[in-house]
């Protein structure tokens, strides 16, 4: 008997997140313009559509089995810079790290940070810091500008692509005097010492600080903090002293407003890492509120347990989070963020992560949905108590649920 491969169509391609688990087949569209993106949304089939950046999130949020996935990475133009207002507008597929490198010679850096992920994916994954507005393509194929402060802004930041396709993002910039950060590392004998340092009265917020905690043993930790180096702080004779960063000079009278960046239409992205033959892994990322440090200690103790599937992880990462996210599905919680990467095949991993989920939920925390591919739906409203507000807004905006993903189906979003 002939065996047919289980492919819906030759045009369907298997997609995963960066963890390379839970693949599903989708029709991949790669729009190069906003009009092509609108066309792909209008032409989607009954399984709907969802946007995708560089597939850097770990779970199944940027997948849509049997439906359309819009790969936004060809939409990577920098539309312009408003140096007076400190804003840059870039298309949604722009890699934030490439954008940061492109702006650096002008002494500017996006407040949203820089990394191998896209501007649109960053918004949809729940990072709204430094995002002032975006252009959102709706289920009807029309786009609109959404500004900070509007309910749709909050629902889209962390909305995992389920409120529409972000086509372009307006990002706030901060001035930098040099291209350098000064790093400082402090070692701690265990997690208690680390948390005592971070929560000491009068401790100064360190937005770039993160700690690596050894999962095994006593849980030794190394905290690394970084601060921008001002021009005057460069060592004497440093080559950067000879070429100070300078704001762009635009031809003609300067009246403010959005201007194309001289000689620069695109930010060149570097190839995504993790595309090689790497074994699948699960990234468990969770938030624990301030004041529930005992829960964070408990999670780290579980990771270090003798039979923990996470003992093989090189380290767990702990970050201090200084503000809650605004939207109903926003991940950030003022307090702590814990991340660990574990090989997907580790024995007993599923049950182990279920136990972590329960502890996180009991502590009033939540798992990061952009990294998740396995959370049980029953825990979702406990972790995200404003889930109904999100569902209500989505029902009004997109009554036929055009925007869908594997994650949305799995969790009943
Ligand atoms: C401050 C900061 C720190 C971070 N730290 C880490 C880290 O340590 N490790 C790490 O791996 N990642 C980190 N991230 C990245 C973040 O967690 C997401 O994984 C990443 O932003 C998404 O990557 P992507 O652009 O490839 O989107 P994808 O992974 O392709 O998609 C992620 C989600 O966004 C949606 N989406 C993508 N593009 C669009 C669009 N244009 N319109 C609507 N929805 C869209 C998808 O549907 C999916 O739901 C950090 C991001 C920031 C801003």
Pocket test for ligand 1, best of 17, 70, 121 (most atoms within 8 A of CB): 121
pLDDT at 374 exceeding the cut of 70: yes
pLDDT at 253 exceeding the cut of 60: no
pLDDT at 329 exceeding the cut of 80: yes
pLDDT level of residue 217 (50, 70, 90 thresholds): confident
Candidates 108, 72, 68; CA nearest to 91 is: 72
Return left, alpha or beta for 350; rule: phi > 0 is left, psi -120 to 50 is alpha, else beta.
alpha
Closest residue by Cα to atom 18, ligand 1, is 57
CA–CA distance, 369 with 384 (Å, rounded to integer):
10
- Cα 206 to middle of ligand 1, angstroms: 23
Rg of the chain taking only CA atoms, in angstroms: 22
Helix (H, G, I), strand (E, B) or coil at 185: strand
- Cα 380 to middle of ligand 1, angstroms: 20
Task: Locate the ligand 1 atom nearest the alpha carbon of residue 50 and give its number.
Answer: 47
Candidates 205, 186, 206; CA nearest to 194 is: 186
pLDDT at 21 exceeding the cut of 70: yes
Closest residue by Cα to atom 36, ligand 1, is 121
**Cα 309 to chain centroid, rounded:** 25
Helix (H, G, I), strand (E, B) or coil at 221: strand
Pocket test for ligand 1, best of 122, 153, 172 (most atoms within 8 A of CB): 122
Sign of CA dihedral 360, 363, 366, 371: negative
Task: Locate the ligand 1 atom nearest the alpha carbon of residue 117 and give its number.
Answer: 25
CA–CA distance, 212 with 318 (Å, rounded to integer):
6
Tell me: the pLDDT tens digits for 171-200? 999 999 999 999 999 999 999 999 999 988
CA–CA distance, 215 with 338 (Å, rounded to integer):
12
Full set of structural domains in the chain with CATH: 180-260 (no CATH), 281-377 (3.30.70.2520)
pLDDT of residue 5: 45
């Amino acid at each position: 008997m002939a065996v047919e491969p289980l492919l819906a169509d030759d045009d369907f391609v298997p997609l995963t997140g960066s963890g390379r688990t839970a693949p599903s087949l989708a029709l991949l569209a790669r729009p190069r313009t906003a009009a092509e993106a609108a066309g792909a949304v209008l032409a989607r089939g009954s399984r709907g559509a969802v946007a995708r950046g560089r597939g850097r999130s770990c779970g199944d949020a940027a997948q849509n089995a049997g439906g359309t996935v819009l790969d936004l990475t060809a939409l990577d133009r920098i539309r312009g810079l408003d140096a007076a207002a400190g804003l840059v507008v870039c298309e949604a597929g722009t890699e934030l790290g490439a954008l940061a490198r492109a702006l650096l010679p002008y002494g500017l850096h996006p407040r949203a940070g820089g990394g191998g992920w896209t501007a649109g994916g960053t918004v949809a994954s729940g990072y709204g810091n430094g995002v002032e507005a975006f252009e959102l393509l709706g289920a009807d194929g029309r786009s609109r500008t959404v500004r900070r402060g509007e309910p749709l802004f909050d629902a889209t930041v962390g909305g995992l692509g389920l409120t529409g396709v972000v086509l372009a993002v307006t990002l706030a910039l901060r001035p930098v005097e040099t291209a350098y950060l000064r790093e400082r590392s402090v070692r701690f004998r265990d997690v208690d010492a680390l948390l005592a340092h971070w929560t000491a009265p009068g401790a100064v917020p360190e937005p770039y600080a993160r700690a690596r905690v050894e999962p095994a043993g006593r849980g030794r930790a190394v905290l690394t903090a970084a601060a921008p180096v001002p021009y005057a702080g460069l060592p004497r004779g440093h080559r950067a002293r000879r070429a100070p960063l300078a704001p762009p000079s635009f031809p003609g009278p300067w009246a403010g407003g959005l201007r194309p960046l001289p000689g620069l239409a695109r930010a060149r992205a570097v190839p995504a890492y993790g595309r090689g033959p790497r074994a699948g892994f699960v990234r468990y990322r969770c938030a624990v509120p301030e004041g529930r440090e005992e829960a964070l200690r408990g999670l780290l103790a579980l990771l270090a347990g003798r039979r923990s599937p996470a003992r093989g992880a090189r380290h767990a990462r702990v970050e201090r989070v200084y503000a809650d996210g605004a939207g109903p599905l926003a991940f950030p919680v003022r307090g702590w963020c814990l991340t660990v990467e574990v090989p997907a095949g580790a024995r007993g991993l599923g049950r182990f992560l279920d136990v972590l989920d329960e502890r996180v939920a009991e502590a009033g925390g939540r798992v990061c949905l952009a990294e998740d591919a396995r959370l049980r739906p029953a825990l979702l409203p406990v972790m995200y108590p404003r889930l109904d507000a999100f569902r209500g807004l989505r029902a009004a905006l997109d009554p036929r649920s055009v925007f869908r993903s594997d994650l949305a189906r799995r969790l009943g979003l």
